[in-house]
Structure 1
Amino acid sequence: MNVVRNKYGKLLKKDNIVVFPGALDGLIEKGLDAVEDVDYELAVESFDQVYHFDPDNMRLLAPYAVSLYETRNFEKAKEIATKLLHSGAAEYLDAMELYLAISIQLQDYEEVEMTIATLLEENIVPPDMIQKFNYLRDLNNRLASRYAISEEPMIELQEALTIEEFLANTPEVQQQIVASMENRQVEAESLKLLAEIAEHEEIHPLVVTYALVLLRDAACDKTLTVKKFGFEKAVVPTELHLPNQDEKTREVIDRISDLNEKDPSRMQMAIEASLRYGIIAYPFSWEGFSAEEVAQGYIHYIDGLFTGEKWIDSELMNLIQSIDEQTEQ
């Protein structure tokens, strides 16, 4: 046994299973290769096995947290990111960026605000990274104000409204009205209201998105004309993809990842902004622009938010800005 220990280093044992360090190194390399290939599910599969036996392995923590984040396992990602922050990692601020991005996804808005405020007040953030943390702070505040849980009870409709009655409400109340129809049988009169909402050009585009998704779920096969942001097209709800589930969106995300892989934080911000487009602009999916053009546009847009430099005025960049600003309304 001493010969084996000398050859392979310290043996690890858990659940009566002995694991050679070399085996774990091989799994880490497999996970790192998967991250490089943007195959985060495979990466998580490899890193899970390593973490089970060696949870304090410094080579593991950062790529494991990123992979969990990319596969939307935010609770576990935060656990690993917390461990990374407490590990004394040399790239502390990079680890903090990841931790904050995960916390925003978990809607831990107060924690994010307090953390960034402390970092800035105590001059922990170097001058060249202040813009980046201020953007994270602004994004957090925008989402907090938009998605904060209302103290008012959710509206429960006793009977279907007319479109005129619906329009008399604020966009926030309109969202509640449409949300109240979710997860229950939608009656014919409610389907009629949802169809009228979907075709109404002056209703907030997010409310129109909610209406279209509910019509899709209700297998509505009526042809509707939807107008958003100067675009117009006829759609049949039952034939629609869900928001961000179309091929063009997947191509845009893949291209953003390829173009900005050396700056994960900006890459993720660009991806998140493009996904917001997929929700707000639904059912439109970048008609008239290639995935390459859209990906480049989002990279320029996020770079401009960091540097303060104005991007080149164009139809695409104006559309990107217009859609992104809808999250503030």
Structure 2
Amino acid sequence: MKRDNVILFPGSLERLLDEGLDAVEDGDYERAIKAFEQVYRFDTDHQSYLAPYAVALYETKDFVKAKEIAEKLLQSGTANYIDAMELYLAISIQLQLYDEVEMAIDALFEEDAIPEEMVNKFNYLRQLNQRLSDRYTPDETRFHQETFTLEEFLEQPVEMQQNMLSTLESGDITSAIPVIAQIVEQEELRPLVVTFALVLLYQVEYEQPVTVKKFGREKTVIPSKIALPNQDERTAEVLDLLGVQFEKDPSMLQLAIEAVQKYGILDYPFSWDGYSTEEVAKAYAQYIHSMFSGNQIECNDLCTFIRHIDQETDR
């Protein structure tokens, strides 16, 4: 296959597609976008990657490109039309296309096109869109956010919770800070959601202690005084040791880096508490070797926990 003087060898498209899908599953959206961009050059209409491509663009806040891909998805005749429409609407809200969102949601309700189990979700989208639209004025460069209660937040599915926090991130979140602090302390929420909320508190330099509960452990921190995920000295030290360990095997090193970074996000603000840096690096080396060999190995508690975190699906 050839396009724009670029030759794509047999199997390359499938390999890029698999790489992009794996990267989305791992939460590595930048890598996913690089793979999907290449696929898109040769096949702009293939349904199998349009949705994850749009999600990756959304997560990296490239909302203009995300809208283009979401529109392609809707035009493709996808069987998951309502899911695709939900994604399209979430992107459009980020672009402040409030009138377009309102008309689209109204049309879906008028046509009775929304499954019963998704009615509450689309009602929330409509309400969120209306609140943002009401609070936006032409002489303001930024809009103010209408906050929500903890109960309203907990009622939403994971994807909507992430969208609600993402919407807060783009505006003045002062009025929402008390709710965000409560969200951080909810043990039943998915780890990635808690991480997102804690990062928001870090960004506003929140100086009150909060107690984070993840994977059966708890830790009290002051958000303004902790490093962002994967930007702490401990993570850098672990990666340095793994760089030496896998110096001659870049494939294993890449897997190790991805596993460490995923841990840093999902288990934030925990940082392998109770283990030395050397013990952590050794546990990751064990885990990565077992992945490549396919053999079950004797694994201590840390290695077992690392494997659990790495296999956690948080979407």
TM-score in terms of structure 2 length: 0.59
Q: Equivalent residues in 2 for 1:76-87 (5 A)?
A: none
| In 1: Cα distance, 2:147 partner to 2:196 partner | 17
Deviations 1:104-127 (A, max 9, x none): 72523447889xxxxxxxxxxxxx
Please name the residue that 2:233 is paired with: 247
Is 2:50 the counterpart of 1:108? no
- Structure 2 CA distance for partners of 1:111 and 1:300, relative to 1, 3 Å: farther
- Structure 2 CA distance for partners of 1:315 and 1:113, relative to 1, 3 Å: farther
Alignment match of 1:181 (pick from 168, 175, 189): 168
Alignment match of 1:162 (pick from 140, 149, 152): 149
Please name the residue that 1:224 is paired with: 210
Deviations 1:159-183 (A, max 9, x none): 2111111011111110111111113
Q: Which has the larger radius of gyration?
A: 1
| In 2: Cα distance, 1:161 partner to 1:232 partner | 26
| Matched letter for residue 304 of structure 2 | N
Please name the residue that 2:291 is paired with: 305
Partner of 1:225, secondary structure, is strand
- Structure 2 CA distance for partners of 1:105 and 1:211, relative to 1, 3 Å: same
Distance apart, 1:283 and its partner CA? 0.7
Please name the residue that 1:200 is paired with: 186
Which segment is superposed worse, 200-209 or 291-300?
291-300
Distance apart, 1:187 and its partner CA? 2.4
Give the ranges of 4+ consecutive aligned residues of structure 1 lying more than 6 Å apart after TM superposition: 100-104, 111-114, 143-146
- Structure 2 CA distance for partners of 1:111 and 1:215, relative to 1, 3 Å: closer
Partners of 1:104 and 1:112 within 8 A in 2: no
- Structure 2 CA distance for partners of 1:217 and 1:111, relative to 1, 3 Å: closer
Partner of 2:219, secondary structure, is strand
Deviations 1:171-221 (A, max 9, x none): 111011111111322122x11111011000011111111111111111111
| In 1: Cα distance, 2:309 partner to 2:55 partner | 15
Partner of 2:88, secondary structure, is coil
Distance apart, 1:328 and its partner CA? 5.3
Alignment match of 2:90 (pick from 139, 142, 153): 153
- Structure 2 CA distance for partners of 1:111 and 1:183, relative to 1, 3 Å: closer
Alignment match of 2:306 (pick from 320, 324, 328): 320
Partners of 2:32 and 2:53 within 8 A in 1: no
RMSD between superposed Cα atoms in Å: 3.3
Partners of 2:229 and 2:269 within 8 A in 1: yes
Q: Which runs of 5+ in 1 are unaligned?
A: 1-81, 87-95, 115-139
Please name the residue that 2:134 is paired with: none
Partners of 1:223 and 1:237 within 8 A in 2: yes
Partners of 2:191 and 2:314 within 8 A in 1: no
| Matched letter for residue 108 of structure 1 | K
Partners of 2:32 and 2:56 within 8 A in 1: no
Identity %: 40
Distance apart, 1:297 and its partner CA? 1.5
Partners of 1:244 and 1:279 within 8 A in 2: yes
| In 2: Cα distance, 1:195 partner to 1:253 partner | 31
Please name the residue that 2:135 is paired with: none
Q: Equivalent residues in 2 for 1:287-306 (5 A)?
A: 287-306=273-292
Q: Equivalent residues in 2 for 1:27-46 (5 A)?
A: none
| Matched letter for residue 217 of structure 2 | F
- Structure 2 CA distance for partners of 1:146 and 1:319, relative to 1, 3 Å: farther
Distance apart, 1:225 and its partner CA? 0.7
Q: Which runs of 5+ in 2 are unaligned?
A: 1-5, 10-14, 24-28, 41-48, 59-86, 95-127, 132-145
Count of residue pairs brought into register by the alignment: 209
| In 1: Cα distance, 2:287 partner to 2:57 partner | 26
| Matched letter for residue 178 of structure 1 | L
- Structure 2 CA distance for partners of 1:205 and 1:285, relative to 1, 3 Å: same
Partner of 1:151, secondary structure, is helix
Distance apart, 1:148 and its partner CA? 6.7
